[in-house]
Amino acid sequence: MKATEIQAIYVMWLRQMKRFIRSKSRLVSSIVQPLFFLFILGSGFRVAIFEGVGDYLSFLAPGIIAMAILFSSMFTGISVLWDKQFGFLQEVLVAPISRISIIIGRTLGGATVALIQGSIILLISLALGVQISGAIGLIFTLLFMVLIAFTAVGFGLVIASKMEDFQGFQLIMSLVVMPLLFLSSAFFPVTSNPTMKSIAMFNPLFYMVDGLRGSLIIGVETVNSPLFNLIIVIFICIFMMSIGSYLFSKMES
Amino acid sequence: MNIITTDNLTKKYNNLIAVDNVSFSVLKGEIFGFLGPNGAGKTTTIKMLTTLLNPTKGSANIIDFDIIKNRDKVRKNIGVVFQEPALDTELTGGENLDYHARMYAISRDKRKERINAVLKLVDLEDKIDIIVKNYSGGMKRRLEISRGLMHYPNVLFLDEPTLGLDAQTRRAIWNYVKKMNKEEGTTIFLTTHYMDEADYLCDRVGIIDRGKILVIDTIENLKNSIGNDVITLTCSNINSLENRLEKEKWIFNIKKHDSKLTLGVEKGDEKIPLIIEISQSEKIRIKSISVRKPTLDDVFLHFTGRTIREDEKKINVETQSRFRMRGGRR
């Protein structure tokens, strides 16, 4: 790869980071919102006993981490639309760099931001007494976090390439993302209900949440083994990123 | 030497032909302008030349690089200032320039030096660390122009460079454009629908309307082509006077427009008595008559049969609401 392309990737990454650090409201809300979920759902459902779930907070924490990474990365993908509307995209597209570098830089930037947010929530969960597994588990956790981030950026790119404005985004969030998230076992186990369990098998988010949970938490019951989940998630990630990059490269400014 | 050449460049959107078999060339070092009303195909032409849109038909070269086959070479050699602002408003002015320079592979030391140089050119040196969203409209425009120059482009494209700016700022931008054309030797291709802008800046102008180029020439020649002087008059029976005057050999051209007659003549002040005599013999009462030097407005009227302002009235409402939605440039 040429030095120019690496420089271009770096610029795209740096831009994401600068924007993230400067946008205080985004910084605060991206951490506060998952924490609300963690505290409110955590304390509310703690008294309810789900079948096969030990400590509910330990069950919930990976779900919330996945959610935070998902939302943050999707936002990065969709912010292409923002750049398109405010003209900045043209400036990038007219530069002598390949579109692939633009996508890689942006994805890495978005993933870095998402990982920072996910890690903050992970640390807070630790402080709240969530029991996590050892080094290998953490490596797996990190892998899942990265893959979730990439997949979600890809998904965001798909939406951004196909949509003209922001109205459609709300629709996608409430009609696609939220239902998938609720059916992913992020907040409660899907195993108790057979219908829900069979739906979950077709839900990409389910494999991510289940895998993240299995890698991160000690002694939790998961549907699939982390390794199995990992393989499936890698495929989903490659699939989503390919469609996202393809549509983005076809996009006319 | 030609730096841009196009050959039957065409862009179709479904049934609409935005740019229709456009062929022209731009000389190295000149300021070339596309003059035409909104929707004439100016921006579409720029987008094709800057590799953002693929032409439906035809071809174009920039310094011998084909805009389709040799995109990266073309991109390296051009700078673009788009009609809509294209800055990252969350970054500082300096960062915008720095990121731009990195994408064009300019080395670290050169970057610093060049940022200072281009900012100096547009008098923004002291605003380097200010976040762009706090810039005024004119400052943003100047920053964009300086960014377009960052990587020493051979050609700089300016799409409606002073759209939506106040008179004072426009004048300043024009001077910056002239300055960089002179000092850096950058060839400039600009589009505009302002007559005064084309008149003040351009060495040569192409008049474009409904996707077609009607004429390309120096401003001087264009003005001379419709006569040394222009006489405008209003009168009682405009049609019969027009028919009568068409027989006169000393009138180069006649245009009836808006209940006014516009005549291109030589030595206009001597022709006024003649016209009054003719009209009196025809029992036509002249209400007003004046003579002046031709302007680009007259040229535009001559080639398109209407003034650019009429088009604007129709389109203005639309454009303004669009700009308001985008947060405007002001």
How do beta strands B187-192 and B155-159 pair? Answer: parallel
Task: List C-alpha distances in Å: B186 to A217, A226, B60, B134, B154.
Answer: 63, 60, 19, 29, 6
* Domain around A42: 3-250
Per-residue confidence (pLDDT) for residue B313, from 0 to 100 = 59
CB contact under 8 A, A7 and B105: yes
DSSP track, B269-280: HHHHHHHHHHHH
Between A56-85 and A204-216, two packed helices, what is the crossing angle to 10 degrees? 130
Q: Average of pLDDT values for B221-239?
A: 85
Q: Quick check: A142 pLDDT over 50?
A: yes
Asked if A3 is an interface residue toward chain B (Cβ–Cβ < 8 A), one would say yes
| A31 vs B65, higher pLDDT | B65
Start-end of CATH 3.30.70.980 domains in chain B: 227-293
Which residues on B lie below 8 Å from A7 (Cβ)? 102-103, 105
How far is C-alpha B56 from the geometric centre of its chain's CA atoms? 24
At residue B189, the 3 state secondary structure works out as strand
End-to-end CA distance of chain B: 39
- Give B326's contacts in chain A (Cβ within 8 Å): 85-86
Tokens, residue A5: 């392309």
Question: Which chain B residues are within 8 Å of A3, Cβ to Cβ?
Answer: 105
| DSSP state for residue A163 in the 8-state scheme | -
Among 3.40.50.2000, 3.40.50.300, 3.40.640.10, 3.40.50.170, name the CATH number for the domain at B2-222: 3.40.50.300
Measure the CA–CA gap between B177 and B225, rounded to whole angstroms. Answer: 27
Q: What is the pLDDT of residue A174?
A: 84
Average the pLDDT over B146-158 and give the result.
Answer: 91
Compute the half-sphere exposure of residue B132: CA atoms within 13 Å on the CB side of its CA: 24
A53: which 2 tokens? Answer: 């779930």
Task: Return mean pLDDT, chain A.
Answer: 87
Give pLDDT, residue B310.
62
Residue B319 has pLDDT above 60, yes or no: no
Asked if B307 contacts B257 with a C-beta cutoff of 8 angstroms, the reply is yes
Instruction: Give pLDDT tens digits for A122-141.
Output: 998 888 888 888 888 899 99
CB proximity A26 to B under 8 Å: no
The minimum CA-CA distance between A248 and chain B, rounded to whole Å, is 13
> How far is Cα A90 from Cα B155, in angstroms, rounded to an integer?
17
pLDDT digits 0-9 by tens, B73-97: 999 999 999 988 899 988 999 999 9
Q: How distant is the Cα of A121 from the closest Cα of chain B, in angstroms?
A: 26
Which helix (H) or strand (E) is B304 found in, with range? helix B296-304
Assess contact for B137 and B165: CB atoms under 8 A.
yes
| Residues 6 or more apart in contact with residue A175 via CB below 8 angstroms | none
Residue A32 exposed, middle or buried by CB count within 10 Å (0-12, 13-18, 19+): exposed
CATH 3.40.50.300 residue ranges for chain B: 2-222
Q: What residues of chain A lie within 8 A of the CB of B99, using their CB?
A: 11, 14-15
The rounded distance, in Å, linking the Cα atoms of B327 and A14 is: 26
- CA nearest A3 in B: which residue? B105
CA distance A120 to B167: 52
Angle CA B184–B189–B192, to nearest 5: 125
CATH number 3.30.460.80 is the correct assignment for the domain at B227-293: no
Length of chain B counted residue by residue? 330
Residue B158: how many CB atoms within 10 A of its CB?
A: 26
Within 10 Å of residue B68's Cβ, how many Cβ atoms? 13
- Do residues A142 and A230 touch, judged by C-beta distance below 8 A? no
Contact flag B53-A94 (C-beta cutoff 8 Å): no
Query: What's the number of domains chain A is made of?
Result: 1
Is B255's pLDDT higher than 80? yes
Element holding A60 (H helix, E strand) = helix A56-85
B47 vs B35: CA distance, rounded Å = 16
- Residue in the block written with tokens 């759902």: A41
Task: Give the single-character DSSP code of A38.
Answer: I
A88 touches chain B (CB under 8 A): yes
DSSP state of B290: E
